């Protein structure tokens, strides 16, 4: 189907704005942050949010906790932002995390992992892994779930590069025998960094926000060598066994180089016996998760994801 009209208008606005090249990473990061601050937000309520820090063996990570305003679940979603492993932060994804928290009734812990190329694979993933383990150990201290009783159920999630990290954390949790995860929410995730020649990379190479060239550049910034892309923690689709993983909801966008990454990962999970649901995004583009205030289709897909989380983390 064609682009949703609101998405087409958004792309026209973006095309009229100056944009720093990825080769000037400082300016690119500043531009990404500035652009995120100008996006409209939905008027959704939460009980509050607070910034905190998570100690890890290598560093101390900034994080932000979102507390829901409605009676709901005791669940906790540990969320990793997108940005090509090289850009974005807690603020760029503040509205997205607020929306997920408000609609799902689930607490959301957004984690600012260290960025590439200053810190390359596997260290951003290590940050996400340690943050997830810390969240599992401290869930009861992060504010009671709205229902006030019962143990916390834990999920991981993220968009784009963050979806890649969340999928890899789920693999590591299975390999390590814990922490126990009840769900993984993967929003247009990158799942095979060794292959950037899928049909969606070709069909959506330019003109839809994220370009195929930019995606390849992000991968190069994240990995030390091309060989890293063959590791399942960098490319979860290449894991020899995808069985025994937590239920996954995978959202994709029609006009996105990463569309096939998400669809193929859903199929591979299902083939391995893991529960996976694929929610396609007709007429949508990469980054639609942050466009809910201007795009009805984006809002509907994100609200469906939030309700899926509520169901999976209930109790």
Q: Which domains does the chain have, with CATH numbers?
A: 5-312 (3.40.50.1820)
Q: Return contacts of 118-125, CB within 8 angstroms, 24+ apart.
A: 120/221, 120/222, 120/223, 120/224, 121/222, 121/223, 121/224, 121/228, 121/231, 121/233, 121/234, 122/231, 122/233, 122/234, 123/58, 124/85, 124/165, 124/222, 125/165, 125/168, 125/169, 125/172, 125/233, 125/234
> What local confidence, expressed as pLDDT, does residue 72 receive?
58
d(CA 31, CA 88): 10
Whole-angstrom Cα Rg for the chain? 18
> What local confidence, expressed as pLDDT, does residue 142 receive?
87
DSSP bridge partners of 50: 65
Cβ 110 vs Cβ 127: under 8 Å:
no
What residues are annotated to the active site? 160, 256, 286
| Low-confidence residues of the chain: pLDDT under 50 | 148-149
CA distances from 266 to 201, 232, 241, 242, 305 (A): 18, 15, 14, 10, 15
Residues in the chain: 315
Residues 6+ apart with CB under 8 A from 10: 291, 294, 295
Cβ 66 vs Cβ 74: under 8 Å:
no
Per-residue model confidence as pLDDT tens digits over 51-97? 999 999 999 999 999 999 876 567 999 999 999 999 999 999 999 99
Structure tokens at 248: 């996954």
> What local confidence, expressed as pLDDT, does residue 19 receive?
86
Reported in sequence order, the residue ranges of the chain that DSSP labels E, i.e. its strands, are 48-55, 60-67, 76-80, 107-112, 154-159, 183-187, 248-251, 276-279
CA distances from 56 to 124, 138, 212, 222, 300 (A): 12, 13, 34, 20, 36
d(CA 157, CA 81): 9
d(CA 129, CA 104): 23
Give CA torsion, residues 105, 52, 173, 166, to 10 deg. Answer: 70
């Amino acid at each position: 189907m064609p682009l949703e009209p609101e998405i087409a208008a958004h792309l026209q606005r973006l095309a009229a704005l100056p944009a720093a090249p990825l080769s000037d990473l400082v300016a690119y990061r500043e531009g990404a942050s500035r652009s995120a601050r100008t996006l409209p937000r939905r008027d959704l309520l939460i009980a509050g949010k607070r910034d905190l820090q998570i100690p890890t063996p290598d560093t101390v990570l900034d994080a932000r906790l979102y507390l829901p305003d409605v009676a709901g679940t005791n669940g906790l979603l540990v969320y990793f932002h997108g940005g090509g492993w090289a850009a974005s932060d807690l603020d760029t994804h503040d509205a997205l995390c607020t929306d997920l928290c408000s609609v799902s009734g689930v607490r959301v812990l957004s984690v600012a992992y260290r960025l590439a190329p200053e810190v390359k694979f596997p260290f951003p993933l290590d940050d996400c892994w340690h943050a997830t383990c810390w969240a599992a150990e401290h869930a009861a201290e992060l504010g009671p779930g709205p229902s006030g009783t019962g143990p916390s159920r834990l999920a991981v999630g993220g968009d784009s590069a963050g979806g890649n990290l969340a999928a890899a954390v789920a693999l590591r949790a299975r390999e390590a025998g814990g922490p126990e995860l009840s769900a993984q929410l993967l929003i247009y995730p990158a799942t095979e960094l060794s292959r950037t020649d899928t049909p969606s990379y070709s069909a959506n190479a330019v003109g839809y926000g994220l370009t195929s060239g930019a995606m390849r550049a992000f991968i190069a910034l994240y990995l030390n060598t091309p060989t890293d892309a063959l590791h399942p923690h960098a490319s979860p689709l290449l894991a020899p066994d995808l069985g025994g993983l937590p239920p996954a909801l995978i959202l994709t966008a029609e006009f996105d180089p990463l569309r096939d990454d998400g669809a193929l990962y859903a199929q591979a999970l299902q083939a391995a016996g893991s529960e996976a649901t694929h929610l396609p995004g007709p007429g949508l583009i990469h980054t639609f998760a942050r466009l809910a205030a201007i795009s009805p289709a984006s809002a509907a897909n994100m609200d469906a994801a939030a309700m899926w989380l509520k169901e999976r983390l209930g109790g």
